[in-house]
Structure 1
Amino acid sequence: MGLVRTLWSRDDVAARILAGDSLVVYNDLLLRIPHSWLATHPGGALAILHFVGRDAADEIEAYHNEHTICTIKKYAIGTVDTSSPWDPLLPPIMSGWVRKKASDGALVWHNEAHPISSPSGLSSEILLVHKDGSLLQDASGPTLATILPPPSNLSLKVQTRHSAAYKALHQRIIDAGLYKTRYVTGYGPEVARYFLLAASSAYAYKHGWLITSAVCLGLLWHQLVFTVHDLGHLGVTHDWTIDRLLAIFIADFIGGLSVGWWVDNHNVHHLVTNHPSHDPDIEHLPFLAISTAFFNSLWSSYYKRTMLFDRFSAVLVSLQHKLFYVVLAFGRFNLYANAYAFLIRKAFDTRKARGGRWSWWLEVIGVAFFWCWFGALLKGCGSWTNALTYLVVSHVVTSPLHLQIVLSHFSMSTEDLGPTESFPHRQLRTTTDVICPPYLSFVHGGLHLQVTHHLFPRLPRHNLREASVLVKQYAKEQGLVYAEFGFIKGNGEVLSVLKAVADQVCLVAAVADREIQEAMVKKTG
């Protein structure tokens, strides 16, 4: 699809988006993403749909290598005026509009959700609730008013400056050679640790030390996930096929999880971090809510369901600061549920993502293999009580991983500042580091440096510490906050957020009870 030398105005772009085109600005190029590519994009369709009508240059370059970017440029259909910053449009999906196939096979607009007033009072914030009734074709589709972003307190000029400085920072990261993987000094000690934990678990199991074996196996799973994380971001060999094969072997065959699901989920989390309606990593009702916005029974554009805030949810959320560590202890079971639901959905896809045919089958085989060997392990425990103990202990031991993830985001802002916000501004606003000495960084897998990781997701994690020095300098120069706190303080911050939301649940319940009592008094009077 060669470049057509046509200059597109903002009005032209808006008209084509309303007509159904997925148009994304990349620097001065206008990219038209075919629907067929949306269905096969390795990072998932949502990773693109959230940037329709916006300049996604920072995100594109952060997530793709040079070879892929050259391929992306083939989708250019023209250019846009770069004499002034691109004034972003609001992606239709952010206001609840999606394109779906009708019964005749034609793509039509559907309104799956509609926006509500911001509970935080931000004029730029858009949250979604499920549209009443079934999902019906809407012949009218979105209007120009739908894709014009609401007023923002952010300065487009300032956000453009942050973006330009981020591009310069990215070039410094590249020039410093920080995309080069440290196979020996980085992964060498980790591989040795993996084999030590695996051997220890096998040795203990053979001698009947089941608790010790379960602990070692859980620690192995906990450590392996960090390498799967790198592979999912193409941060090891930087070759999609090799990294995906390695990831499937580790995640599916050894861990029983789906790396395909993780990549699909995790990319969205990175791009719309901490957005209540769009980031799946903070959508944990009925168990947890980190914002009172969830009291509105929000629509999840990722899960395609309503996060219902009912009486059951209210009870659990009112106790969430007390049940927090209990919920995290069983977090791995939630990963199984999400991963297998994803694989089942993909089984019915007519067009799977890149490598979808062989990778999907390999993942299914891998998960089956996992439950065969792990099931045999449980059967060999001698009794159902021993097997249950082994199952619970091995899975609870992995819970520090879930704690680390929430520490980096749960205490940060969940407000939506609109499409005007730049990529680096959003990541620094919604993400924090956990301060950790170098000799203990392996416990966090090196991913305690989440701010730098969110800004440069393909960066090998063994290089994050060196890169974070440059990022902190960037933040200081741009007047942005680089958030970080210690492990204990971080836990306190998260518990404080959970308790504040829980208190609001109790307050709402108390007000409702008082209103009911007053109504009954008036009725009997």
Structure 2
Amino acid sequence: MGASTIWSRTDIANQILSGDHLIIYRNHLLRISPSWLDAHPGGTLALLHFVGRDATDEVDAYHSDATIKMVERFSIGRVELSQRGWDPLTPPVMSGWVRTVDGDGKPQWYHEAEAIRTHEHNNNNLPSSEILLVDKNLALSSSSGPTLATITPPPSPLSLEVQAKHSKAYKELHKRISDAGLYQTPYLTGYGPEVLRYSLLAGLSAYTYAHDWLIPSAVLLGLFWHQLAFTAHDLGHMGVTHVWAIDRLLAIFIADFLGGLSIGWWVQNHNVHHLVTNHPSHDPDIAHIPFFAISTTFFSSLWSSYYKRIMPFDRFSKFLISFQHKLFYIIMMFGRFNLYANSYTFLYQKAWDSKRARGGRWAWWLEILAVGLFWTWYTYVLYGCGSWPKAIVYLLVSHAITSPLHVQIVLSHFSMSTEDLGPVESFPHRQMRTTTDVICDDAVAFLHGGLHLQVTHHLFPRLPRHNLRKASKLVKEFAKEECLVYAEFGFIRGNCDVIGVLREVADQVKIIGQVADAEVAEVVNKLHKNSGPDPNTILNCR
């Protein structure tokens, strides 16, 4: 079929079931080849989550104009639209189906997880459109691949017409922001003061360290890492020079060499988080079992499509989660160690991956070198503390100081909705439903790196961070016109809301434990009553 072919929804569904990765963009049907799926700089899952869906808003939000010009090269025709626009299909990955290669090198379907649909399990706690993933061994399935029923979305409480209206308005908003020049990076006024701040923190940390003032040095180093994370974030989004190679090189220097974290891991993780924000089975940024659960849906031992493993709600998880609201800030103090673990797991896996993403080979080797150099200079710093106790204190203090960054990140999502409203939901609707801003005074905005304006950032991830405040005014006008909620709260209230959510889930764990204990006690009592000698037997013995 050529580029002039008109594809019906039925034809597209059949091709997807045959193994093609088809995505709609501006009425074009794009076929994503296996080679590009593996080479996509944003990661494979960023594409798989939009198979059978209209990804126009997401593609425009995440790609520069130069990249978008190349998108239509993947077009194999146009789509047949109804009066309501494109009626989406459910991507196979969201129902636990992915394409793999067998021993002979032939592609085949692999069922990595079992999908739980509300109407099948009669769970009134979930919206009708909810699809969660659990261990595939919990349900028997004889299918060798997904079926039409698999990729047909469950009923959604949302109107396709209304979501199409939101999408159209978002496109107009995007044009207004672009025409206002907000994609132009303010190098001098934006990054100028930040470079001075970074240099001051690094210099003061080195100065205090040289004078054996180890605690102040550790605090200043932690603040240095805290501030650097914001620029690394911008570079990962291609929000500085907007040139992939340049932004990636700068990001490796800042994130890997100065901070010890893999920018490659962060980009893939963060892109998925942005695209399926707050989805219990798919968003890695809320997959924190056994330490945190922000929804009772995690009690089902969900499958993570990002981590490719079950998130077990076992005895250990129940114990920790029952106290999660009390452990929150303590665990956040050690959040950076979790980032190390995820970074190095990613780099290790990529070492055996022959299908690395674009620029993957040189970028991977450069990351390995940069991380090695980080641990070389940081180990030298620890060794210079003079003793192991001092080195351990320096290690813990320098890492604990970065914890406000981790707290800030979760404030924008932990208290927001974790419901899955299905593929019908538009990009702007999902981002505004699952994300909130943290209100702060301009004088202390640098402490948040400008990323307290998360709603606008989620709608326009490539937008230079220093332009988010101007753009947020336009976004608020958009929200008012479209009757969407622009959520925002102060830092203190945000913390209270998150702690409240954690406490509510913790209370549910305790209730489950009390019910289980009561059921066990009831069984034991019955056994005790039934285990006594039969009176008739006693009488006969006499």
Q: What TM-score, normalized by structure 2, do the two folds share?
A: 0.95
Measured in 2, the distance between the counterparts of 1:360 and 1:164 equals 39
One-letter amino acid matched to 2:127? L
Question: What residue number does 2:69 align with?
Answer: 70
What is the aligned-residue identity percentage?
Answer: 67
Question: What residue number does 2:521 align with?
Answer: 517
Q: Are 1:8 and 2:7 matched, yes or no?
A: yes
CA contact (8 A) 2:218 2:395 kept: yes
Measured in 2, the distance between the counterparts of 1:380 and 1:458 equals 41
Measured in 2, the distance between the counterparts of 1:498 and 1:438 equals 30
Question: What residue number does 2:129 align with?
Answer: 124
Measured in 1, the distance between the counterparts of 2:98 and 2:148 equals 15
CA contact (8 A) 1:108 1:139 kept: no
Shift of 1:121: 2.9
One-letter amino acid matched to 1:55? D
Question: What residue number does 1:412 align with?
Answer: 416
Secondary structure of the 1:121 match is coil
One-letter amino acid matched to 1:433? D
CA contact (8 A) 2:117 2:129 kept: no
Shift of 1:153: 0.8
Shift of 1:116: 1.8
Q: Which runs of 4+ in 1 moved over 2 A?
A: 81-84, 117-121, 133-136
Shift of 1:96: 0.3
Measured in 1, the distance between the counterparts of 2:188 and 2:135 equals 50
One-letter amino acid matched to 2:105? G
Q: Are 1:104 and 2:101 matched, yes or no?
A: no
Measured in 1, the distance between the counterparts of 2:49 and 2:108 equals 18
- Listed as ranges, the matches of 1:23-422 within 5 Å are 23-82=22-81, 84=83, 85-118=85-118, 119=123, 120-132=125-137, 140-422=144-426
CA contact (8 A) 1:111 1:135 kept: no
One-letter amino acid matched to 1:111? H
Measured in 1, the distance between the counterparts of 2:402 and 2:159 equals 43
Secondary structure of the 2:153 match is coil
Q: Are 1:471 and 2:475 matched, yes or no?
A: yes
One-letter amino acid matched to 1:45? T
Q: Are 1:500 and 2:509 matched, yes or no?
A: no
Secondary structure of the 1:116 match is strand
Q: Which ranges of structure 2 fall in alignment gaps of 5 or more residues? A: 530-542
Question: What residue number does 2:534 align with?
Answer: none
Secondary structure of the 1:132 match is helix
Shift of 1:389: 0.4
Measured in 2, the distance between the counterparts of 1:188 and 1:508 equals 54
Q: Are 1:489 and 2:488 matched, yes or no?
A: no
Secondary structure of the 2:137 match is coil
Measured in 1, the distance between the counterparts of 2:189 and 2:505 equals 44
Measured in 1, the distance between the counterparts of 2:132 and 2:325 equals 25
Deviation digits for residues 151-175 of structure 1, max 9, x if unmatched?
Answer: 0110000000000000000000000
Larger Rg: 2
Measured in 2, the distance between the counterparts of 1:128 and 1:50 equals 14
Question: What residue number does 2:448 align with?
Answer: 444
Shift of 1:134: 13
Measured in 1, the distance between the counterparts of 2:236 and 2:260 equals 16
Change (3 A) 1:135 1:403: farther
CA contact (8 A) 1:113 1:129 kept: yes
Measured in 2, the distance between the counterparts of 1:52 and 1:414 equals 22
One-letter amino acid matched to 2:133? L
> How many residues end up aligned between the 2 structures?
523
Measured in 2, the distance between the counterparts of 1:43 and 1:8 equals 27
Q: Which ranges of structure 1 fall in alignment gaps of 5 or more residues? A: none
Shift of 1:130: 1.5
CA contact (8 A) 1:130 1:299 kept: yes
Q: What TM-score, normalized by structure 1, do the two folds share?
A: 0.98
How large is the Cα RMSD of the aligned pairs? 1.4
Deviation digits for residues 479-513 of structure 1, max 9, x if unmatched?
Answer: 00000000000000000000000000000000000
One-letter amino acid matched to 2:135? H
